[in-house]
Amino acid sequence: MEHTLSLLSFGPDGWGDQIATGVLVTMGLAICTLPFGLVAGFFLALAKQSNEKALKSAAEIYTTVFRGLPELLTLFLVYFGLQIGLRQLLIFLGVPAEVEINSFVAGMIALGVVFSAFSSEVFLSAFRAIPAGQYEGGHALGLSKAQTMYKIILPQLIRIALPGLGNLWMILLKETALVSVIGLPDILRQAGIAARVSKEAFLFFGIACLLFLVLAILSSMVIRAIEQQVEKSGIRT
Amino acid sequence: MSAIKQLVEAQRPPPLPPAPWTTARIAGMGMMALWLVIGVGIILFLTTEWDPEKIEKYGPRYFSGLGVTLSLVGISIVLGAIVSIPVAMGRMSKHMLFSGPAYCYVYFFRGTPLIAQLFLIYYGLGEFRVELQSIGLWGFFRDPWNCAILAFTLNTAAYQAEILRGALRSVSTGQFEGAAALGLSRIQTYRMIIIPQALIVALRPYGNEIILMIKGSAIVAIITVFDLFGETRRAFSRTFDFQAYIWAAIFYLTIVEILRNLWNMMEKRLTRHLKR
């Protein structure tokens, strides 16, 4: 027991501080990915419900591809593909140099792309739940298209899409663990290093699982609070 | 009195005005062009880098990897379905003694990443080698394949239990009452009335779960099971040829799309009596 506690302590003998930074990295990655994924997903949903055939099918191809690929494969495609692509570009420009992509950036791009593909579906079904009368009402009031979207549609859209987006956030949080495979020092990787050095694999991977669980519980509390807040501002129908 | 002497030829309608170049149209055309460039680029890349020697060497390995992926997912889904039944029953039980543990089980496996669960079982249990040897289970846990099956089964059982519970709860209580009025026993009620209705509701989530498992199974490559992704990584580490990953993407997309379409067809067929 004492041995276990010293392994988990903060300081030179313990792994507490390394794992704590891992928690920060995991949360940082998920939080940095979120806005990018949400905005991209929103515009993809707009594209999917537009009347323009080309725009619609372009967005649909995007969703089909990134929903069908395993997240790990997307991550590797981004990580190695960007490195090779940038190197070719530099050779083409006449400045050959070794390019190393930061695993955090690669993780952000890959997870953001996957998140946007899924969130676009959530936004799309939320769009479909808003009756056409809302757009017509905005038009009748003389609002421009952008104003209608911003002042009338978006507030309702968020209320409808929130439960789906909350689920996607939980999935995103769990997917960040995959980025440890390309060397991001997140919870899982720090736990893995600690497990290899201390030969206490069960303890450290167990702690990694528990930390993810704590993050999930905290997020569900935050999501519930946001939902209640949004619910309060909404009209009862 | 006048009579019509001559029919006026029917006129063709005037041609439609050309579609206006709205921002949406320009953006759509631009993006389709981008996809076209990417598609052609990938085809060009695969044809110029086409190396019969590599294809001959790694092609069969990809197919064996695909077999490993599909059997891994198939076995775990079936075992998970079996495990999920008692878990779902526990979740729906009114006794804390049953519902508490079932709730914790589902919460744990749905709240933590699959990859962490896999590491916990493969590396974590490997630490108890002496204990496992003494009860004769070491042979089981030494093999990454068995550990992957175990982790995936436990994980998918948690998800499937929730699917099952949701589906059973979606059947209205009137159905139970009706069955009771007809004098059916509990088992008969479930077998003949509740489960057929619940399975239709559960069909789509089950399909999504299978697709999620196929995508999630790529992580077994990290614990040295040579599934489709494992073979891809091996091919890439030997050849440093990026087309290894492109081929993997084509393989995965193909299976997922086939499954998705198959599922859509099945759903259409099975719910045709509900169409109005």
| Whole-number pLDDT of residue A215 | 93
Query: How would residue B45 be classed by pLDDT, with cut points 50, 70 and 90?
Result: confident
A111, A175 contact by CB (below 8 A): yes
| Whole-number pLDDT of residue A233 | 73
Q: Residue A123 is which amino acid?
A: F
Instruction: Over range B133-149, report the average pLDDT.
Output: 85
| Whole-number pLDDT of residue B59 | 87
Chain B stretch 230-259, residues whose beta carbon is closer than 8 A to a beta carbon of chain A: 232-233, 236, 242, 245, 248-249, 252-253, 256-257
Q: Is B224 left (phi over 0), alpha (psi -120 to 50) or beta?
A: left
A122, A41 contact by CB (below 8 A): yes
Give CA separation, B90 vs A115, B86, B95, B100, B168, in Å.
Answer: 33, 6, 8, 8, 13
Q: Do A69 and B219 lie within an 8 Å CB cutoff? A: no
Structure tokens, A64? 């089909």
Whole-number Å distance between alpha carbons of B132 and B119: 17
Q: What is the CATH number of domain B71-225?
A: 1.10.3720.10
Of A221-225, B47-51, B234-238, which range is least confident?
Answer: B47-51
Q: Do A70 and B125 lie within an 8 Å CB cutoff? A: no
| Whole-number pLDDT of residue B106 | 93
Q: Is the Cβ of B103 closer than 8 Å to some Cβ of chain A? A: no
Instruction: Over range B86-93, report the average pLDDT.
Output: 91
Residue A108: HSE in the Cβ half-sphere, 13 Å Cα cutoff: 15
| Whole-number pLDDT of residue A60 | 92
Phi, psi angles (nearest 5°) of residue A52:
-80, 115
Q: What is the DSSP letter of B276?
A: -
Query: How would residue A64 be classed by pLDDT, with cut points 50, 70 and 90?
Result: very high
**Among B35, B115, B216, whose Cβ lies nearest the Cβ of A58?**
B35
**Among B25, B113, B126, whose Cβ lies nearest the Cβ of A174?**
B113
Q: Is the Cβ of B147 closer than 8 Å to some Cβ of chain A? A: no
Residue B255 has pLDDT above 80, yes or no: yes
Q: Comparing C-alpha atoms, which of A85, A166, A77, A74 is closest to residue A113? A: A74
Q: Residue B38 is which amino acid?
A: I
Q: How many CB pairs under 8 A join A and B?
A: 138
**A189 to chain B: nearest residue by CA?**
B116
Q: Each residue of B203-227: b (16+ CB within 10 Å) or e?
A: bebbbebbbbbbbbbbbbbbbebbb
Q: Give the angle A10-A12-A14 at the CA atoms, nearest 5°.
A: 50
Chain A partners within 8 Å of B112 (Cβ): 174, 209, 212-213, 216
Cβ count near A96 (within 10 Å): 11
Cβ count near B190 (within 10 Å): 17
| Whole-number pLDDT of residue A66 | 92
Which H or E run includes B245? helix B243-270
| Whole-number pLDDT of residue A236 | 56
| Whole-number pLDDT of residue B239 | 85
Query: How would residue B129 be classed by pLDDT, with cut points 50, 70 and 90?
Result: confident
The position carrying tokens 């073979």 is B231
Residue A237 has pLDDT above 60, yes or no: no
Q: Do B120 and A206 lie within an 8 Å CB cutoff? A: yes
Q: Do B229 and A73 lie within an 8 Å CB cutoff? A: yes
| Whole-number pLDDT of residue B133 | 82
Chain A stretch 117-146, residues whose beta carbon is closer than 8 A to a beta carbon of chain B: none
Q: Comparing C-alpha atoms, which of B91, B150, B140 is closest to residue B118? A: B150
- Residue B255 distance to chain A (closest CA, Å): 9
B211, B253 contact by CB (below 8 A): no
Three-state DSSP at A117 gives helix
Q: Where are the domains of chain B?
A: 71-225
**B21 to chain A: nearest residue by CA?**
A52
| Whole-number pLDDT of residue A235 | 60
Q: Do A174 and B32 lie within an 8 Å CB cutoff? A: no
Question: What string of DSSP letters covers B34-67?
Answer: HHHHHHHHHHHHHHHT--HHHHHHHHHHHHHHHH
State pLDDT tens for residues A90-124: 888 887 777 788 889 999 999 999 999 999 999 99
| Whole-number pLDDT of residue A102 | 87
Residue B257 has pLDDT above 60, yes or no: yes
Q: Do B128 and A80 lie within an 8 Å CB cutoff? A: no
State pLDDT tens for residues A22-53: 999 999 999 999 999 999 999 999 999 888 88
**Among B34, B112, B218, whose Cβ lies nearest the Cβ of A72?**
B218
A53, B31 contact by CB (below 8 A): no
Whole-prediction pTM value? 0.88
Return mean pLDDT, chain B.
Answer: 89
Give the domains, in start order, of chain A with CATH numbers: 17-233 (1.10.3720.10)
Q: How many residues does chain B have?
A: 276
A58, B24 contact by CB (below 8 A): no
State pLDDT tens for residues B147-202: 999 999 999 999 999 999 999 988 888 999 999 999 999 899 989 998 888 888 89
Give CA separation, A58 vs A38, A74, B25, B40, in Å.
Answer: 18, 19, 11, 15
